[in-house]
Chain A
Amino acid sequence: MANGSHPGWLTVHGVRLEIVERGQGRPILWLHGEEGLDPGAPFLDLLAAHGSVLAPSHPGFGHSPDVSSIDTVDDLSYLYLDVLAARNLRDVVVIGSSLGGWIAAEMAVKSSDRLGGLVLVAPLGIKVGDRETRDIPDIFALPPDEVARLQYRDPARAAVDHAKLSDDQLTVIARNREATALYAWEPYFHNPKLRQRLHRITPPTLLLWGADDRFVTAAYYGAAYRSAIPGARFETIDGAGHFPHIEEPAAFAARVRGFLGEPKA
């Protein structure tokens, strides 16, 4: 088992995934968002204090190879259900952020058999407004600094000095953007059918939202998600934007811990 800071590899039905595995106990599947997986991110260690964390890079992200037959979030949701089955994991807590939250929701509407809980961190994936309303700002048409302003409470957190990064790190940044476009281009960051299927989610569910998320707000997008999942809890994290696990890792981990401490439904 790869239990250090360096990722290992996992192969499921011929799909090869870079994966970080850390901690012991109840299985926690972390599904990253558009920013990809940073094996050195503090929140991963904080999560690993409460269980056995599996954190893969989706195909095309990080160092995980592209897979010709995988090009939708639907594909990714089946892939991760297959990962849980291949490891014969039970009572898994699936935590996903943004794009990863969308994947987690798609998994849960398909099969909850192996799921013990669901934490959706500002998940994307549903259509809320009318046909002329972009629920989610178009990151492919906005200047990069405007995207950072929408996604981070403190946009300086998103600033990266490319000159200080290795070719490998730059390649990961480029691949993460490319893979995001592959999965989220059209329909843009959503599945038109997902919202009507969210009622199928049966495991205890926590919706976590950065109080300063300007990308998809708690009041609009978060409320729509909450009303579609029966019994879901909804909590916000102060001082955080769209990626609370990055901007407020301790508060993020504390909310997850609180959720894990709850008795099963």
Chain B
Amino acid sequence: MGMRAWFFSENAYHLLPDSKEYDSIRVKLPNRYYDPKIGADLYHRFIDEWQIAEELGLEIMVNEHHQTATNLNPSAAVVMGALARDTRKARILILGNPIANRREPVRVAEEMAMVDVYARGRLECGFVRGVPYEMSAGNHRPTRMMERFWEAHDLIVKAWTSHDGPFNWEGKYFHHRQVNIWPRPYQEPHPPIWITALSPASARDVGEKGYVVACFLTGFDGTKNVFGSYRERRAELRLPTPALDRFAYAALVYVGETDEEGYAGARKLMWYLESNKVPPQFTSPPGYHPTASTVNAMKGTNPGIFKMFQNPALGPLMENGLVFAGNPDSVYRQIMKMHDHVGGFGHLLIMGQAGFLDHEETVKGMQMFVREVYPRLKALA
């Protein structure tokens, strides 16, 4: 079984004033900087790029963020509704629904069922905790989030899989009467579930359920720890050894004809990291991060990977496996180095558009990947 590649784009609005003019690109940047006419062109361009990804044989991934110029998809369900209709064969992945921040899990169950039916069963449904900057946008408190997350998950799965009339839910965080969703999902028993994990602790719960676990920009050791913890948890519980298709890794990827062309593309993708200007009250709402890492942050001893986000440079990002870039052979080697370091993974999530990487450059990066790198990844034993 070979590796599957997914094309994803944050759908950023990159035409911003000098970053000296604002103190945060997230949460409070006034939307007067957003021109809806330009925004409409961008939406259609990005949807076109997802369609091109499908034509090239890639799968499709969409995510969701709120109150930020870095991502103009505050509702993954809406853009995926459009893509479900505009595509025919690709698997379509939402990674994901920030269910700890959503007030109505039943509404999420309905939206996902609807998209799955539109797509005739091609939906892969991710659930994410949501990034720290979104505590204000979701207005949900940053403490005890995972408890709320799992209760929302349980309610959604029950809504998807109950077919004999209403049930009631009176939980710690959610109450709902007469739950009985129409439509129900196209896939039986429900769309495959993916969950993002950044820490070994959260990977344990995902491993127990056997869902796909996804790591975003966690580098060599961070990813190894998360995937290792997933595998360990399953072994502890004497559950079947997970196949590689249970593991996904997301990186910034740009394939050029030469290393130089690949690096040039990657530097444009780095806009995503460079532009992420956010003050501490939004990056570290109390309770979001584990207490120990808050203490490490106060002492300035958090692992170097966090510092890399503050001063992103292509060399260190590539050395740490957050960016795969260069000519096809280089990119293949970089992907395999990560693959072999973390015990293997079956899904590569390609962040292939950001910032000033224009349409032609984005499409060329995809084409180069599909023609020169993807066949080797698909052929992995």
Q: Enumerate chain A interface residues (CB-CB to B < 8 A).
A: 71, 140-144, 162-163, 165, 167, 170-171, 173-175, 177-178, 180-182, 185-186
* Chain B nearest Cβ from A147, distance in angstroms: 8
Contacts of A141 in B (CB 8 A): 27-28, 136, 281-282
User: A140 with B299: in contact, given A181-B141, A185-B143, A186-B141 (CB under 8 Å)?
Assistant: no
In the assembled complex, 16 residue pairs joining A and B whose CB atoms fall closer than 8 Å, in A order, are A140-B281, A143-B281, A144-B280, A144-B281, A173-B298, A174-B286, A174-B291, A174-B294, A177-B294, A178-B287, A181-B285, A182-B141, A182-B143, A182-B144, A185-B142, A186-B141
* Chain B nearest Cβ from A158, distance in angstroms: 15
* Chain B nearest Cβ from A72, distance in angstroms: 11
Docked complex Cα distance between A52 and B285 (Å): 37
Using CB atoms, name the residue of chain B closest to A142.
B281
Q: Enumerate chain B interface residues (CB-CB to A < 8 A).
A: 27-28, 135-136, 139-144, 279-282, 285-287, 291-292, 294-295, 298-299
Docked complex Cα distance between A175 and B292 (Å): 10
Q: Is the CB of A185 within 8 A of B141?
A: yes
Most buried by B among A140, A142, A144, A171: A140
Using CB atoms, name the residue of chain A closest to B292.
A171
Docked complex Cα distance between A175 and B289 (Å): 11
Contacts of A143 in B (CB 8 A): 279-281
Using CB atoms, name the residue of chain B closest to A185.
B141
Docked complex Cα distance between A181 and B291 (Å): 13
Contacts of A186 in B (CB 8 A): 139-141
Contacts of A185 in B (CB 8 A): 140-143
Q: Is the CB of B141 within 8 A of A170?
A: no
**Additional pairs, 8, CB under 8 Å, beyond known A71-B144, A173-B298, A174-B295:** A143-B280, A143-B281, A162-B298, A171-B291, A177-B294, A178-B287, A181-B285, A185-B143
Most buried by A among B140, B143, B282, B285: B143
* Chain A nearest Cβ from B281, distance in angstroms: 6
Most buried by B among A143, A163, A181: A181
Q: Is the CB of A182 within 8 A of B287?
A: yes
Docked complex Cα distance between A223 and B201 (Å): 48
With beta carbons under 8 angstroms apart, the residue of B141, B281, B291 that contacts A175 is: B291
Docked complex Cα distance between A144 and B279 (Å): 10
* Chain A nearest Cβ from B30, distance in angstroms: 15
Contacts of A163 in B (CB 8 A): 299
Docked complex Cα distance between A171 and B286 (Å): 12
Most buried by A among B141, B292, B299: B141
* Chain B nearest Cβ from A183, distance in angstroms: 9
Q: Is the CB of A174 within 8 A of B298?
A: yes
